[in-house]
Chains A and B, each alone.
Chain A
Amino acid sequence: MEVLLSSDKIADCITALADEIVSKAARGDKIAVIGIRSRGEILGKRLSDALSKKLKTKLPCGTLDITLYRDDINNPQGQSQPLVRSTEIGFDIDDKIIILVDDVLYTGRSTRAAMDALIDLGRPKAIRLAVLIERTGRELPISADFVGLKVDLPAEKSVQVNFVESDGKDRVIVI
């Protein structure tokens, strides 16, 4: 087990992500943050808090469940069964710039599913992808706009993001 990011480093990454998003935002942009369940939800909330502080306005923040849009739903790849949970987006996404948040970008398949799910909810002005970890190994033509840490790992390794809210402590590890 190797620790990629400690608790402090995760906080730094989130601050850096927020800084970069703010620096690239144009005046008048309506920004909203949507996290992909379940680690992206937690990261999304933290990022939206950081952004709200910097922009001095409360940004809308929601949670997206992508289970219904997964491309392996009728062709299960692993042992675990997909669990359908609710999407909680209490605002209109039309004409907003959606910062889509996930913990790890790897194959790009979750991002594809999330984009399809978002389009069924409305027509955002743009979707930007923010991730804590960007890992090489894309299987789809997808890239992140805002990245905390880039890593290159062999396929047999897996990246695990832990948060206080879900796992008791903040850290990113490689197993």
Chain B
Amino acid sequence: MSKKEFIWNRKHLIGLRDLSREEIEYILDTAQGFEQVSTRSIKKAPTLRGKVVVNLFFEDSTRTRNSFTLAANRLSADVIEFTQKSSSVNKGETLLDTARNLEAMGIDIVVIRHSAGGAPKFLSRNINASVVNAGDGYCEHPTQGLLDTFTIRKIRGSLEGLKIAIVGDIAHSRVARSDIYAMTKLGAEVTLVGPPTLMPAKINQLPVQVSYSLDAVIGQVDVINMLRIQFERMGTNPFPSIKEYSHYFGLTVDRMKKMKKDVLVMHPGPINRGVEIESEVADGPNSVILQQVTNGLAVRMAVLFLVNQGAMVKE
């Protein structure tokens, strides 16, 4: 029964690209153990009592930030909420100075979201606290990749051999990258679907297939993950009109009819209803969008728990 002793020794969670399959599965297994904390009468465990978590968010977020806050609270950690809008960053303070000042107050874990790719890695090299990436630039959003994978695994048992389509704005999506790393490492075949203007530059370096037609792949996939069109990150117009985009790449009721009966419809949120996905589909029986949010909590509890464990191994 006892497998060869596996020791989780990572103090930080920067990206899924660096993680082995075994490490990803270890996080998912651990997350499974945390699910029940959220379903019982007292939704709290004393595990991180006396630890301080800082939510260092340089970009807007509701889901991820609240999910991390609640995850930390459920493990009895204290949480400092940092937002750029009301902070000294507006007075010219650098990322490192901000972090070091927070660290001087005795924090244990920094959860960081930043528009610059590599910011979490930079921070992890320069401060003593554990660093968890909550989204950096177009690089990675590891906890989203983990919760997507967790959701699929929970419903299907395994990702081995599953065909997964990730549709839409791949170029601007850190979610897509983390999804690709996690899902392919666990044995799924991933196809990216979208217009060429929304595909990343070095796509041939990723372990994926590419299709420029949603209708061409729709009948074969077991899971379809509809990404949000990130209007805020687009300088130029990558497609002629929203209507045209929806026509070719939107998940509509008509397209649903051509899909496998048990296909899982996912979306990392926030949804642009009527753009990448029709409301009837987002709220339909195949949608697991809200389960993703619920599972995100268990996954983030597991991640906070594990980076704290990893910090002790290093010492």
Is the C-beta of B204 less than 8 angstroms from some C-beta in chain A?
Answer: no
> Is A69 a contact of B1 with CB atoms below 8 Å?
no
Is the C-beta of B32 less than 8 angstroms from some C-beta in chain A?
Answer: yes
> Is B42 a contact of A120 with CB atoms below 8 Å?
yes
> Is B36 a contact of A81 with CB atoms below 8 Å?
no
Of the listed residues B7, B46, B308, B312, the one surrounded by the most CB atoms of chain A closer than 10 A to its CB is B46
Identity of the chain A residue whose Cβ is nearest the Cβ of B51 in the assembled complex = A74
Is the C-beta of A82 less than 8 angstroms from some C-beta in chain B?
Answer: yes
Chain A residues positioned under 8 Å from B48 (CB to CB) = 74
Known interface pairs A69-B45, A86-B32, A120-B44. Does A167 touch B1 (Cβ–Cβ under 8 Å)? yes
Across the interface, B312 reaches (CB within 8 A) one of A76, A122, A167, namely A76
A-side interface residues, number (CB < 8 Å):
24
Known interface pairs A74-B308, A84-B33. Does A69 touch B313 (Cβ–Cβ under 8 Å)? no
Q: For window 35-88 of chain A, which residues contact chain B by CB distance below 8 Å?
A: 65, 67-69, 73-74, 76, 80-88
> Is A74 a contact of B312 with CB atoms below 8 Å?
yes
> Is A121 a contact of B41 with CB atoms below 8 Å?
yes
CB of B302, distance to nearest CB on chain A (Å): 7
CB of B127, distance to nearest CB on chain A (Å): 19
Is the C-beta of B246 less than 8 angstroms from some C-beta in chain A?
Answer: no
Chain A residues positioned under 8 Å from B7 (CB to CB) = 81
A interface footprint on B18-48 (CB within 8 Å = 1, 0 otherwise): 0000000000011011111100111011111
Is the C-beta of A166 less than 8 angstroms from some C-beta in chain B?
Answer: yes
Identity of the chain A residue whose Cβ is nearest the Cβ of B46 in the assembled complex = A69
Chain A residues positioned under 8 Å from B42 (CB to CB) = 119-121
Q: For window 81-131 of chain A, which residues contact chain B by CB distance below 8 Å?
A: 81-88, 116-117, 119-122
> Is A84 a contact of B34 with CB atoms below 8 Å?
yes
Across the interface, A68 reaches (CB within 8 A) one of B1, B32, B37, B313, namely B37
Is the C-beta of B150 less than 8 angstroms from some C-beta in chain A?
Answer: no
Q: Chain A interface secondary structure, helix, strand, loop or mixed?
A: loop
CB of B129, distance to nearest CB on chain A (Å): 15
Identity of the chain B residue whose Cβ is nearest the Cβ of A94 in the assembled complex = B41
Identity of the chain A residue whose Cβ is nearest the Cβ of B74 in the assembled complex = A68
CB of A83, distance to nearest CB on chain B (Å): 8
Is the C-beta of B262 less than 8 angstroms from some C-beta in chain A?
Answer: no
Chain A residues positioned under 8 Å from B30 (CB to CB) = 83-84
Chain B residues positioned under 8 Å from A121 (CB to CB) = 40-42
> Is B1 a contact of A81 with CB atoms below 8 Å?
no
Inter-chain CA distance A167–B48, complex, in Å, is: 33
> Is A85 a contact of B33 with CB atoms below 8 Å?
yes
Across the interface, B5 reaches (CB within 8 A) one of A80, A84, A85, A167, namely A80
Known interface pairs A73-B47, A81-B313, A84-B305. Does A65 touch B41 (Cβ–Cβ under 8 Å)? no
- 19 sample A-B contacts, Cβ–Cβ < 8 Å, listed by A number: A65-B33, A68-B37, A68-B45, A69-B47, A74-B312, A76-B312, A81-B7, A81-B309, A84-B30, A84-B305, A85-B32, A86-B33, A120-B40, A120-B41, A120-B45, A121-B40, A121-B41, A122-B41, A167-B1
Per CB-CB distance, the 5 closest pairs between chain A and chain B, nearest first, are A84-B33, A68-B45, A120-B42, A68-B47, A86-B33
Give the B-binding residues of A (Cβ under 8 A).
65, 67-69, 73-74, 76, 80-88, 116-117, 119-122, 166-167
Extra pairs beyond A83-B30, A117-B45, A166-B1 (14, CB < 8 Å): A68-B37, A68-B46, A73-B47, A74-B51, A74-B308, A80-B5, A81-B313, A82-B309, A85-B33, A86-B35, A88-B36, A119-B42, A121-B40, A121-B41
